[in-house]
Amino acid sequence: METGFLQTWHSAALTAMGLFWTAFWAFGLGYVISSMIQVFVTRERMQKTMGEDGPKSVALGTFFGFVSSSCSFAALSGTRALFAKGAGLVPSLAFLLSSTNLVIELGIIIAIFLGWQFVVGEYVGGILLILLMWLVVRFTRKLAPIEEARKSAQESEGDEEEDGDEPSWKEKIRSKDGWRMVANRYFMEWAMVWKDVTVGFTIAGVIAAFVPRSFFETLFIGGEDPGFFALLAQALVGPVAAFFTFIGSMGNIPLAAVLYGNGVAFAGIMAFIFSDLVVVPVLRVNAKYYGWRMALYILGVFLVVLVATALLLHYGFSLLGLLPSAEDVRAVTEREFFSIDYTFWLNMAFLAVTALFFAWKIKSKGVKLTTGDGITETVLFWLAMLSYAWLAGGLLVGG
């Protein structure tokens, strides 16, 4: 019994590290692209053109969210800045949904672990989320304390200076300082997600090794060919599961692959992936920014639209014959991770890029490891530390 546990522990640790090794180059590529966009693209003009809830403002909110960060907390901060400076509620929420569901790096990670159908589902679903949110807000905006929330956002943001003489993107891209800013932003991206990623990949490894398929068949009702109510139940269980995991969208993807490989329907997986904005930490941050009434209103709107979007995607893909095979996803989590293939060479390339950026980071601002602000970040920090201990122990018992 003891030997069996130790072997499973070793398998869990190896799977977690193998999943991260598979995805490292994609994280690196995504964060390099994201950092370049954030450094070379300014936000001054977009904040002046999003004051109405019309098509142009919503399209701008969606576009600028697309070129922004995929970290939920960075997206929340950017959304607050827009809303506090006068952007409409719908364009602000479009920015928030877009910056967490339509960004490049998330699509790359999904492609690696779940396949192209899920990438299409992510981007088509991101647009559907925004359109349905717009519709729901239009009919329920009387329930939203908009002006009270805007005042609260302005108070929480404080007085921030505007960069009136900021260099153009052409000047930045030609300067060494511009690329040093990219390096700093690259590490800021990692700093915002490393705890979530660590805990997320560790949990994915534990679930893949320890949790039997029968558990998922019980938790996510439906079996091989679920009916409408079974799919609805799965689409509701997805956000409930995400609500209590505290893991962001990037950390959720390997776990989503494990869930899909264990029989969870496409609708349940998409609802789970879309649920990064209805977790406890996000609710708390929104309450701090806008007050509890507005935070709960946003939570309710997002829950309704993500469940509806997951169901629409499932039936749409089924109608077109595009639902992916669970066998293909299961193969990703059961593959030989550490072979000399394209993943190895891409990882070597992005390790070199990371090392170069790290040298610039050390010279300019230094590196400091902190638990983060607030009880949630502190809890995540120590969970990440426990995850490293678990992974190290699992590797040692297999030696």
Q: How many CA atoms lie within 13 A of 23 on its CB side?
A: 32
Rounded to 10 degrees, the C-alpha dihedral 206/219/118/124 comes to -140
pLDDT digits (tens, 9 = 90+) for 112-147: 888 899 999 999 999 999 999 999 999 999 999 999
State residue 352's pLDDT score.
94
Residue with the larger pLDDT of the pair 223 and 96: 96
Q: How many CB atoms lie within 10 A of CB 341?
A: 9
Q: Where in the chain are the domains?
A: 18-157+175-368
pLDDT digits (tens, 9 = 90+) for 338-364: 788 878 998 999 999 999 888 887 776
State residue 379's pLDDT score.
84
Give whichever of 15-24, 87-96, 166-175, 364-373 has the largest mean pLDDT. 87-96
Q: Which residues contact 157 (CB under 8 A, 6 or more apart)?
A: 80, 81, 84
pLDDT digits (tens, 9 = 90+) for 149-203: 999 988 866 544 444 556 666 777 888 888 888 888 788 778 777 887 888 788 8
Q: pTM of this prediction? A: 0.71
- What share of the chain has pLDDT > 90, as a percent? 27
Closest Cα to residue 257, out of 246, 236, 272, 243?
Answer: 272
Provide the phi-psi class of 212: left if phi over 0, else alpha when psi is between -120 and 50, else beta: beta
DSSP 67: T
Residue type for position 305 = V
Residue type for position 178 = G
